[in-house]
Every structure is written in C-alpha cells, then in structure tokens.
Structure 1
C-alpha cells in the first residue's frame, strides 16, 4: 500500500534530511566553514576546512579538499584531507576518502574507497604500549628434539 522507491545508496541519506545548511551542486567554496549542530550537506566543491558540531553529508556530486571535523560524516562523493570524526564515518558505494582519518567507528559499503591512514578514536587517554610477550614454549612438542646425525668424513 505504502511504498517508496529510492535509488541505491539514497535510502540511508534520507535520514539526513534534518541537515539545514546546504552547499548546492555547482557551488564552489574556498575558505573555512563553521556549521552548528544542525549539520551540513555538501553537493558542490569545498576547498578549505569544515568544522561542524553536527552531521556532515558529502553528496555524490560533492568534493571536499581540506580538514573536516564533524560528529558524523557520510560520504557519497569525494573527501581529501584530514578527517576527525567524533562518532561514525560512513563511506557509501560511490564514496571515496583519501587522507588521514581519526574516528570512532567506520562503515564502508561495497564499492566505497578509503585510502590513507585510519586511527580509532578512544575516549581514554593513550596508554603506554605493552611490553612484547616472550614466546611460549609449546610443551606438547618438548620431547621431540631433532636427531643428531654424525658425518663420516672417511667415506669421501
């Protein structure tokens, strides 16, 4: 009775309709963008830094080159640079992310690309690296010592 048909990849992005700030397709922005908790949708091109307290969605036509700081980032287009995502980075099937990424969780759909370094953000301070463990001797094979063979030089 009630059915909605969405193109592949747009069903999830429909949940991001609460984004009030939109940089439309064909628009080019050079410089910094400070967005509030209402979020940001990028359909055009941004060369600069994006700092958003809410969610950022880069549409299939969107391109971002620079630093992105956001609560959540969903990528259908292309993002190049440094990303600091508080909760979740989601790269959908047409999305491409290149650069250094610091995040809480990562979701990459089939066809999505993440190229670069990825570091998991934790709420706890960085811990000191633990000392390496000494190799454990497997007691099951302790009795199996290789046989010692003698070499007779007189035969040659």
Structure 2
C-alpha cells in the first residue's frame, strides 16, 4: 500500500518553498534552498541557493552561495559566491571567489580573501638560508 518514496530530484537539504515566509535564525549542516522569503540570520555548512523567486533579508554565511533571486544583507563565504543574471545582492560580500553573470547586480563592497594563507618567509630568514647553502663542503 505504501510506496517507497525515493528522492526524485536528488536534493538533500532544507527548502523554503515559493509562497512561504519564515524568520529567525537558521542553522543547517546540509544544503539550503530558498524560493520563498526569509528574514533573519543564515549559517549553513553546505551550499545556499537563493532561487529566482527567493528573497533573503539576511546576513548569510555558507560554503558556496548562489543568488538567482534577491539578498539584502551581508554575505560571507570561504568558498564561491555566484550571482546569476537574475540575481541581486544589496550588501557587502567577503568571499574567496566571486562570479557575477552579465545582468547580475552587486550593490555594496566586495572583499576577496583565500581561506588558507601561506606564510611569507621574512627577508632575514631568506638571506640566512642562502648563506648556509653557499658554504663549501669539507672534504
């Protein structure tokens, strides 16, 4: 009588559907897709997608973020922020990678930093290592 309802689309995560409204602080470990409206804070360890009909009046922190709808708030990601041709972001972004398709809008400041930084050796330590290499071997 009951059928095995398998995931048809392959989507694994949280969905705020078109016509829905939610507010508060949203924390999720998996992916998040917003097609409705959300007001509040978003902290997501997975991918965040603001669909074409989606509106987020939020500060968003996520791994990779795709905006095809509207975001009013700041975005922070150690991954990639993609603003599609229908996407609009009103706020500051601090991301490792930024992609804005033709027609996409970003009204705010952008700051791009890599998640992992490699320390640069000091000038003195470089000179010392060259001096050591220049000494002849005793034989």
- Structure showing the higher strand proportion among its residues: 2
Listed as ranges, the gaps of 5+ residues in structure 1 are 1-15, 128-156
Equivalent runs, 1:53-132 vs 2, <5 Å: 53-122=45-114, 123-124=116-117
Q: Counterpart of 2:11?
A: 18
Partners of 1:56 and 1:40 lie apart in 2 by 5
Q: Tell me, what secondary structure is at the counterpart of 1:32?
A: strand
Task: Encode CA deviations 1:88-124: one digit per residue, 9 max, x unaligned.
Answer: 0000110001101000101111111111000012223
**Runs of 4+ deviating beyond 6 Å:** none
Partners of 2:44 and 2:91 lie apart in 1 by 19
* Aligned residues of 1:22 and 1:43 also touching (Cα < 8 A): yes
- Give the number of equivalent residue pairs: 111
Q: 1:30 Cα deviation (Å)?
A: 1.1
Q: Counterpart of 1:33?
A: 26
TM-score, scaled to structure 1:
0.66
